[in-house]
Chains A and B, each alone.
Chain A
Amino acid sequence: MAEKKSTGKAGSGQAGFNGAALFTLAAVLAGLGIELMTTGGGLAIPGWPFNLVFLLLFGGAILAVGLIFREHPMVTWLGGIPLGLSLIVGLALLSFVGGVLPQESVVNGVLQHEKFPTGSLVASLRLDGMFSSWPFALVTLFFLFNLGLTLVWKTFPFRLANLQFMLFHGGFWIALSCGLLGNSQLQRFVVPIDEGRATNVAYDRDTERALHLPFSIFLKDFQIDQYAARLALYDPRTDQVIESNSKQMHDISKGATAEWPGVGSLTVLDYFPDALPDSHGIPVPVEGKNGFPFARVRLEVGGVVSEHWITSGGPQLKPQFVPMGDYYIVMAEGEPKAFRSEVMVMGEGGERVAALLEVNKPVDFHGWKLYQMGYDEKAGRWSTLSLVEAVRDPWLPAVYVGFFMIMAGNLLFFWKGIKKMEEA
């Protein structure tokens, strides 16, 4: 519509594209200029409620400009596809830089300019912090302006035929603007809890600053399930594991066999996932998860058969392994299969909610989402420490509205595409 009408002047032909490309370049250069002047300080998104105020003003301005100056050639150009395409290219190129150069990250409260020291050109232009930099912000701003204008023109007057367009473009507009503006209110904290203790002390993931949450978490129990322990042939000279002829990771179970051509072969005679050595040093299975994995293996090396106990060891138990030729047969602990925290969350008002936190299964509590994040990896399955992450993101529902609009538009697009394809 608006585009088709305007295909006379600024919006069409090579001229439209050249102007648009120049405009995008200017936005990028202006952004880089600001970074240089602030030595790569980047852009801080305003916090509540200024982010909302900004969104309303920006949205209102787009609506007003789009409706009042609809016929103005300058405005049709600002909302036209040539500029949109140039800005898409600009966004892609900036993302390209951000996707190639290592980006800064905050570790233990210290900003890491990993490759690029403060004062280097890359850091001064904030190419190592692209996604919070001025060039990225300016291009995104114009992108949203351009997209917003097109959206206004396609929405007023309302026509059902434009539904797919509105869903796609509107959804993207909402998701992008709300995601970026809401970022200033995103809170992500790590809450370390010991078994049998309750705490409300959380640490900011970026600054490591400690603070008190409006609720506390009591850790009843922390559990880890592991995959079966594995056998491996270890080469001490290269510090590497040698693959057997079956290209398998050898999960240990009674009767399992493995063969390394030219070295030897092995059969598992017995396997106890949880055992402790008795007074003669012979492993005996124990209840619960208080023991260590032990396996009795029969080796055959060059026709010589022998039997041994091996274990991956653990706290206060040294690993046991056996030589096989120039190598060693070792037992590796299984990888973590699942870990979970049985917790009681207690609000300030005294309400209590029992919950099970597990990876991929966060739990909601009063606007917070609680995640099973990690544990004491040195202690492995004997860890009594659980790391819980507490996240609050008040703008999430708006972003999700955008996501679902895009997906709805996507379905319509798919359906229309299939229909057109049938006709073609």
Chain B
Amino acid sequence: MTLVEFPAMALAAVVCWLVGSLLQIPARTTKALGLLSWSFMISGTLVLVWFLTSYWIALERPPLRTLGETRLWYATLIPVVGFLVESRYRIGWLKYYCMGLAALFLGINYMNPDVFQKALMPALQSVWFVPHVVVYLVAYVLLAASAVSGWHNVILNFRDKRSAKAESMSHYLALLGFVLLTFGLIFGALWAKEAWGHYWTWDPKETWAFISWLAYLGYLHLVARKTDPKTLQWYLGLSFFVLLVCWFGVNYLPSAQNSVHTYSG
């Protein structure tokens, strides 16, 4: 499958999520509808999994090279986190944010279509390519979810509806995200040594990866200091903006002129 089919597939996914979400309303009273609602929501994600797989096959390389390709992964994986959180914590609201975020990413891809290009530059042809990028992807997905729930908790706190369960959820999402961020950073360094001759050169992308890692390191140590979780929800919500700079904001910074790492496209 190529990008010609993308708009149809994206629309199908968004429609599935939308129908599934709307079905949640009558599902509160009718159990059978709950099942139907979940089938729709999961189907939406399965459509994307299918598209991603066949796109990978058609490209003859992992679709992890361009920004658009990484957005496709986020759109596929973020709702999964929402679904898993619901099954684990019985917290339902996160999945709607996640599906909304995923729909936003699909929309961005629709507005800025990628060019279907098989070429993969030699530096990217490495055993490290897939683990490094995938680990980072999953880290970003988890930290995006923790940021969303951080904001949600901030709102709950304003309305005096503080939920310890929701705070513990945002904490564990951030914790798992930090673990993967650390792996991603080190995998990146090990790969850079093999591909570019040195593991760390303070390239803008590396610098921003370091800053975002420090941001979450700061979070963990604030937790170790028994900082008020109410304050930490703000922290989690804001930290994600640092990650966003690292993900694609770097390309627009003055420092990016001589970066080797920025995504093409």
Enumerate chain A interface residues (CB-CB to B < 8 A): 81-82, 84-85, 88-89, 91-92, 95-96, 98-103, 105, 114-115, 130-131, 179, 186, 188, 227, 243, 245-249, 251, 334-339, 358-362, 369, 371, 373, 389, 391, 393, 396, 399, 403, 406-407, 410, 413-414, 417-418, 420-421, 424
Shortest Cβ gap from B172 to chain A (Å): 5
Shortest Cβ gap from B115 to chain A (Å): 6
Shortest Cβ gap from B4 to chain A (Å): 6
Q: Is the CB of A248 within 8 A of B211?
A: no
Q: Is the CB of A99 within 8 A of B117?
A: no
Q: Is the CB of A335 within 8 A of B119?
A: yes
Q: Is the CB of A362 within 8 A of B194?
A: yes
Q: Is the CB of A247 within 8 A of B214?
A: no
Any A CB within 8 A of the CB of B200: yes
Q: Which residue of B lies closest to A393 (CB)?
A: B198
- Contact for B115 among A99, A248, A371, CB less than 8 A: A248
Taken together as a complex, chains A and B put the C-alpha atoms of A182 and B147 apart, in Å, by: 38
Q: Is the CB of A99 within 8 A of B195?
A: no
Chain A residues whose C-beta falls within 8 Å of the C-beta of B210 in the assembled complex:
95
Chain B residues whose C-beta falls within 8 Å of the C-beta of A88 in the assembled complex:
214, 217-218, 221
Q: Is the CB of A92 within 8 A of B214?
A: yes
Q: Is the CB of B257 within 8 A of A102?
A: yes
Q: Which residue of B lies closest to A362 (CB)?
A: B194
Q: Which residue of B lies closest to A409 (CB)?
A: B182
Any A CB within 8 A of the CB of B2: yes
Shortest Cβ gap from A169 to chain B (Å): 11
Q: Which residue of B lies closest to A251 (CB)?
A: B118
- Contact for A101 among B113, B196, B255, CB less than 8 A: B255
- Contact for A410 among B115, B183, B196, B250, CB less than 8 A: B183
Q: Is the CB of A99 within 8 A of B255?
A: yes
Any A CB within 8 A of the CB of B190: yes
Taken together as a complex, chains A and B put the C-alpha atoms of A103 and B205 apart, in Å, by: 13
Report B116-130 CB contacts with A as 1/0, cut-off 8 Å. Answer: 111111110110000
- Contact for A249 among B116, B126, B194, B222, CB less than 8 A: B116
Any A CB within 8 A of the CB of B30: no
Any A CB within 8 A of the CB of B204: yes
- 10 A-B pairs with the lowest CB-CB distances in the bound complex, closest first: A99-B207, A359-B122, A248-B116, A335-B119, A92-B214, A360-B126, A249-B117, A247-B3, A131-B202, A414-B179
Shortest Cβ gap from A377 to chain B (Å): 13
Any A CB within 8 A of the CB of B111: no
Shortest Cβ gap from A278 to chain B (Å): 32
Any A CB within 8 A of the CB of B86: no
- Contact for B125 among A188, A334, A338, A407, CB less than 8 A: A338
27 residue pairs of the A-B complex, CB under 8 angstroms, read A85-B222, A89-B218, A96-B211, A98-B255, A99-B204, A100-B253, A131-B202, A179-B199, A186-B198, A245-B4, A246-B4, A246-B116, A247-B2, A247-B116, A251-B118, A336-B121, A337-B119, A338-B122, A338-B125, A359-B123, A359-B195, A361-B194, A399-B199, A407-B186, A414-B176, A417-B176, A424-B168
Taken together as a complex, chains A and B put the C-alpha atoms of A206 and B190 apart, in Å, by: 23
Shortest Cβ gap from A78 to chain B (Å): 16
Taken together as a complex, chains A and B put the C-alpha atoms of A335 and B182 apart, in Å, by: 33
Known: A246-B4, A247-B3, A360-B122. A91 touches B214 (CB 8 A): yes
Any A CB within 8 A of the CB of B32: no
Q: Is the CB of B258 within 8 A of A102?
A: yes
- Contact for A339 among B3, B122, B168, B204, CB less than 8 A: B122
Chain A residues whose C-beta falls within 8 Å of the C-beta of B119 in the assembled complex:
227, 249, 334-335, 337
Q: Is the CB of B122 within 8 A of A247?
A: no
Taken together as a complex, chains A and B put the C-alpha atoms of A373 and B113 apart, in Å, by: 32
Taken together as a complex, chains A and B put the C-alpha atoms of A399 and B186 apart, in Å, by: 11
Shortest Cβ gap from B96 to chain A (Å): 22
Report B24-49 CB contacts with A as 1/0, cut-off 8 Å. Answer: 00000000000000000000000000
Chain A residues whose C-beta falls within 8 Å of the C-beta of B172 in the assembled complex:
417, 420-421, 424
Chain B residues whose C-beta falls within 8 Å of the C-beta of A335 in the assembled complex:
119, 121
Chain A residues whose C-beta falls within 8 Å of the C-beta of B117 in the assembled complex:
248-249
Chain A residues whose C-beta falls within 8 Å of the C-beta of B208 in the assembled complex:
99
